[in-house]
């Protein structure tokens, strides 16, 4: 029972059993759901304003120690009018049994296949002798060891998701799952439901790494929820990837500043394929599509590969199909790559230094003007739109004296 000043006046022993609290210790405590310092118990027990205004109500709430039921607490609030003000009596009943906590057991077949799948993602995928690739490998190796958020930047098709997978699968959290969500393809409500919704990833410890692809496309409210989730105990490591750096996206207004501060602790840049031509044979070999003739490398290097590794894989897939199991040669490559090679091999036009060309033209023009004016300098200069002095000076420079 609560008095007019919303303070606890009486509670019976059954209440003490249900709440696990001593009435004697709490007698006189003000019960309010709106006070910031209100404990979860008071938030559950506080009558709504309608009850204080004189309406009886029955309300179902989750227990203070749970986000939802069962069991539920059904509370019947009855307002009382007294000479010195109103009071409220609440009758509390616990409804339903707590659900048995499910103990998930991964089937061995699934565990085996996942393990086999994970073995593909090694640092070798980013092997290379160039300084860029050496640095990238080092960054991936170091990042894998720390539970910090990462922002991977790279052009489309450069292998950002593969890099995130490598970080996950070579790191200490590899036993947990890697989850990649494409914020461009999936509607925000689907992503929110999967992650933060009821029964979503936030309620499980199964996810080791969560990859958000292009998180700048999510609504700002949802971005903020991810920032909040990342600070929770047992939250997965969040890796984000995009074609742009996070700072630029914050300035553009498409990314909340909190995302930059909390979810981009480490930054990794993946170089485009055109800057990794040294690694072409290794990459093509990784696709395991068949033996390649040495002649294909110049053709592959002649293209700028705007679609990066994705485009390379597709082109090599086509080539392997055309080769039907035989050695893959230039003829098997898609037509546009063969054309690129032809252009690259065509003779380069001969360029003449511009100064030489201009001097030659000047010399011819002066010679023609002098001939047509019987070598009279004044007349020739006039015809060329110059003063006599300027013409003489120019002739001296050109060695025509």
- Binding positions for another protein, rule: CB under 8 A: 99, 101-102, 104, 106-107, 109-110, 112-114, 116-118, 120, 176-180, 182, 184-187, 190, 194, 198-201, 203-204, 206-207, 310, 313-314
Residue among 47 and 215 whose Cβ is closer to another protein: 215
Distance between CA atoms of 250 and 259, rounded to whole angstroms?
A: 9
Q: Residue 378 CB: number of other CB atoms within 10 A?
A: 11
Distance between CA atoms of 206 and 177, rounded to whole angstroms?
A: 6
Distance between CA atoms of 168 and 179, rounded to whole angstroms?
A: 10
Residue among 34 and 99 whose Cβ is closer to another protein: 99
Distance between CA atoms of 300 and 240, rounded to whole angstroms?
A: 30
CB of 161 to another protein, least distance (A): 9
User: How deeply is 131 buried, as exposed, middle or buried, from its count of CB atoms within 10 A (0-12, 13-18, 19+)?
Assistant: exposed
DSSP secondary-structure letter at 272?
Answer: P
Distance between CA atoms of 66 and 63, rounded to whole angstroms?
A: 5
Helix (H, G, I), strand (E, B) or coil at 151: strand
Residue matched to tokens 């490559």: 333
Residue among 57 and 118 whose Cβ is closer to another protein: 118
Residue among 68 and 350 whose Cβ is closer to another protein: 68
CB of 314 to another protein, least distance (A): 8
CB of 132 to another protein, least distance (A): 23
CB of 234 to another protein, least distance (A): 12
Q: Residue 310 CB: number of other CB atoms within 10 A?
A: 14
Residue among 2 and 237 whose Cβ is closer to another protein: 237
Distance between CA atoms of 208 and 169, rounded to whole angstroms?
A: 10
CB of 186 to another protein, least distance (A): 5
Residue 186 to residues 149, 207, 253, Cα–Cα distance (Å)? 22, 19, 21
Distance between CA atoms of 17 and 23, rounded to whole angstroms?
A: 10
Residue among 106 and 389 whose Cβ is closer to another protein: 106
CB of 87 to another protein, least distance (A): 40
Residue among 2 and 273 whose Cβ is closer to another protein: 273
CB of 27 to another protein, least distance (A): 39
CB of 155 to another protein, least distance (A): 16
CB of 54 to another protein, least distance (A): 39
Residue among 185 and 365 whose Cβ is closer to another protein: 185
CB of 97 to another protein, least distance (A): 15
Residue among 200 and 258 whose Cβ is closer to another protein: 200
CA atoms within 13 A on the CB side of 33: 9
Report CA Rg, the chain. Answer: 38
Residue matched to tokens 């309300």: 59
CB of 175 to another protein, least distance (A): 11
Residue 151 to residues 188, 190, 211, 308, Cα–Cα distance (Å)? 20, 23, 10, 19
User: How deeply is 236 buried, as exposed, middle or buried, from its count of CB atoms within 10 A (0-12, 13-18, 19+)?
Assistant: buried
Q: Which two tokens stand for residue 163?
A: 């890099």
Q: What share of the chain is helix, strand, coil (3-state, %, to 5)?
A: 45, 15, 40
Residue among 144 and 369 whose Cβ is closer to another protein: 144
Residue among 12 and 317 whose Cβ is closer to another protein: 317
């Amino acid at each position: 029972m609560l008095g007019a000043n919303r303070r606890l006046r009486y509670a019976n022993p059954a209440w003490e059993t249900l709440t696990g609290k001593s009435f004697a210790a709490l007698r006189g405590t003000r019960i309010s759901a709106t006070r910031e310092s209100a404990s979860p118990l008071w938030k559950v027990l506080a009558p709504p304003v309608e009850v204080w205004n004189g309406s009886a109500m029955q309300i179902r709430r989750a227990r203070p120690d749970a986000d939802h039921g069962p069991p539920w607490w059904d509370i019947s609030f009855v307002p009382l009018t007294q000479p010195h003000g109103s009071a409220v009596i609440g009758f509390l009943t616990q409804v339903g049994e707590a659900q048995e906590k499910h103990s998930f057991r991964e089937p061995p077949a699934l565990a085996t296949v996942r393990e086999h799948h994970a073995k593909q993602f090694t640092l070798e995928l980013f092997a290379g002798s160039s300084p860029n690739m050496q640095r990238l490998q080092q960054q991936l190796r170091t990042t894998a060891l720390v539970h910090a958020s990462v922002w991977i930047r790279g052009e489309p098709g450069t292998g950002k998701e593969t890099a995130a997978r490598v970080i996950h699968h070579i790191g200490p959290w590899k036993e947990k799952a890697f989850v990649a969500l494409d914020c461009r393809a999936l509607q925000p409500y689907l992503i929110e439901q999967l992650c933060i919704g009821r029964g979503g990833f936030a309620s499980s410890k199964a996810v080791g790494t969560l990859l958000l692809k292009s998180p700048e496309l999510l609504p700002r409210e949802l971005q903020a929820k991810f920032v909040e989730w990342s600070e929770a105990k047992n939250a997965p490591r969040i890796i984000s990837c995009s074609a742009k750096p996070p700072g630029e996206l914050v300035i553009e207004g498409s990314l909340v500043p909190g995302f930059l501060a909390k979810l981009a602790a480490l930054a990794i840049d993946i170089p485009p394929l055109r800057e990794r031509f040294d690694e072409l044979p290794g990459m093509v070999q990784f696709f395991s599509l068949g033996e390649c003739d040495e002649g294909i490398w110049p053709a592959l290097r002649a293209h700028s590969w705007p679609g990066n590794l994705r485009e390379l894989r597709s082109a090599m897939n086509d080539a392997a199909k055309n080769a039907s199991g035989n050695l893959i040669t230039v003829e098997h490559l898609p037509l546009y790559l063969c054309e690129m090679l032809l252009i690259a091999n065509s003779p380069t036009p001969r360029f003449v230094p511009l100064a030489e060309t201009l001097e030659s033209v000047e010399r011819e023009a002066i010679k023609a003007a002098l001939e047509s004016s019987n070598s009279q300098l004044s007349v020739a200069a006039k015809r060329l739109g110059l003063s006599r002095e300027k013409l003489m000076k120019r002739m001296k420079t050109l060695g025509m004296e």
